[in-house]
Amino acid sequence: MENVVNPAVKPANPAQRSWQDRTAFVTGATGLVGSWLVPALLERGARVVVLVRDHDPHSHLIRSGTIARTTVVNGKLEDLADLERAIAGHGVDTVFHLGAQTLVGPALRDPLGTMESNVRGTWNLLEACRRQASQVQAVVIASSDKAYGDVPTLPYTEDTPLRGQHPYDVSKSCTDLIAQAWHHSYGTPVVIARCGNIYGGGDLNWSRIIPGTIRSLHRGERPGLRSDGTFLRDYVYVEDAVSAYIAMADALDGGSAQAGQPAPASVAGQAFNFGPGAPLSVLDVVAAITRLMGREDLQPIVRNEARAEIHDQYLDSTLATARLGWKPAWDLDAGLAPTIAWYREYWGARG
């Protein structure tokens, strides 16, 4: 698979309503995906409003200077008033809800904080959208493959029941179900993304396998693995995730019909899986990083101490291809190369 230059910022269809007519609100904007989604929206001409709880100077959105091109609303997901103020006060018509506590380990240690952020935060966001239904036309919700839980049959399809068992997985199952409830009960124009493990430059959560391995090798240290290394996962490069979120927003907007063709059936209330179609073991990913960084001499330390983690998870993305025209544009090597370069620049800039 060959990488494409900036696939996330190319309009998928000239028939779609111009993003220059749209005001997008992004929660979780200073996180990994948000830091790449915001510039993609700005590149398309959208006005972007971002929710920022804490100013993190290491966030890619802030370090790149992109945040200066946005309207910043200081607030938190747990406060409904903050969210409604952002949406109503800035004329938002398109919402990307990416904000969440995103790590399995912290969720296990602090389940209440995770539920407050991921579950209360989601219903607050959707309630703010419901109250501003006259202007909100599209709501894209970030769920996760973790929402499916541990099931005997893989890959997950969109019809696989949501059966999270551990705190993080349950919080994503709830996120997903709450979004569906607001759609079916109130007509909120929601679409849900269930992505595999997203990686790319700007992820400073060092407990994750890709940034943690890159940091260890950069320091000349052997990377450590929480698991036994055989766990299978989908690894989605961040620009593929961005293109997925934008494709969903475009489809919700109702402008995805080709000229002279009938409009497609609405995707409102639909969930879509996004994965590369080639699950990899943790050991496969570490081997690719050590090869690309020229550090095959630093073999991983297998600790095999993972708790509350599902052994194998991977997705069938057929529906996203059929309904949204989405396909991954980056294979692992193509995505890891700019990711490694980002971290090297980051550490170089810090001195």
CA-wise closest residue to 199 among 307, 282, 322, 298? 282
DSSP tag of 160: S
The neighbouring-strand residues paired with 224 are: 301
Query: Does residue 202 come out as left (phi exceeding 0), alpha (psi in the -120 to 50 range) or beta?
Result: left
Give the integer Cα–Cα distance in Å for 274 and 277. 9
CB-based contact 290:301 (threshold 8 Å): no
Helix, strand, coil content of the chain in percent (nearest 5):
45, 15, 40
Residue 26: the pLDDT is 98
CA-wise closest residue to 198 among 90, 102, 92, 134? 102
Residue 254: the pLDDT is 60
Q: What is the pLDDT along the chain (351 residues), one digit of tens a residue?
A: 444 433 343 434 443 568 998 999 999 999 999 999 999 999 999 999 999 999 999 999 999 999 999 999 999 999 999 999 999 999 999 999 999 998 888 899 999 999 999 999 999 999 999 999 999 999 999 999 999 999 999 999 999 999 999 999 999 999 999 999 999 999 999 999 999 999 999 999 999 999 999 999 999 999 999 999 999 999 999 999 999 999 999 999 764 434 344 445 689 999 999 999 999 999 999 999 999 999 999 999 999 988 878 899 999 999 999 999 999 999 999 999 999 999 999 999 775
Give the integer Cα–Cα distance in Å for 203 and 206. 8
Q: Is 302 in a helix, a strand, or coil? A: strand
Residue 257: the pLDDT is 38
Phi, psi of 157, deg, nearest 5: -110, 170
Residue with tokens 């990083």: 289
Residue 256: the pLDDT is 40
Q: Which fold has domain 20-350?
A: Rossmann fold (3.40.50)
Residue 17: the pLDDT is 61
pTM of the predicted model, to two decimals?
0.91
Q: For the sheet containing 271-274, what is the strand order?
A: 71-74, 47-52, 23-27, 94-97, 138-142, 190-195, 271-274
Chain-centroid distance, C-alpha 24: 16
* Helix or strand (DSSP H, E) at 107: helix 104-109
Residue 205: the pLDDT is 94
Residue 296: the pLDDT is 96
The active-site residue out of 148, 156, 168, 314 is 168
Q: Where are the beta strands (DSSP E) in the chain?
A: 23-27, 47-52, 71-74, 94-97, 138-142, 190-195, 197-199, 224-225, 232-233, 235-237, 271-274, 280-281, 301-302
237 is annotated as an active-site residue? no
Residue 351: the pLDDT is 55
- Which residues lie below 8 Å from residue 50, measured CB to CB, with a gap of 6+? 25, 26, 27, 29, 30, 34, 38, 61, 67, 70, 71, 72, 73
- Which residues lie below 8 Å from residue 52, measured CB to CB, with a gap of 6+? 29, 30, 67, 72, 73, 74, 75
CB-based contact 282:309 (threshold 8 Å): no
| Residue 150 in tokens | 């541990």
Residue 308: the pLDDT is 78
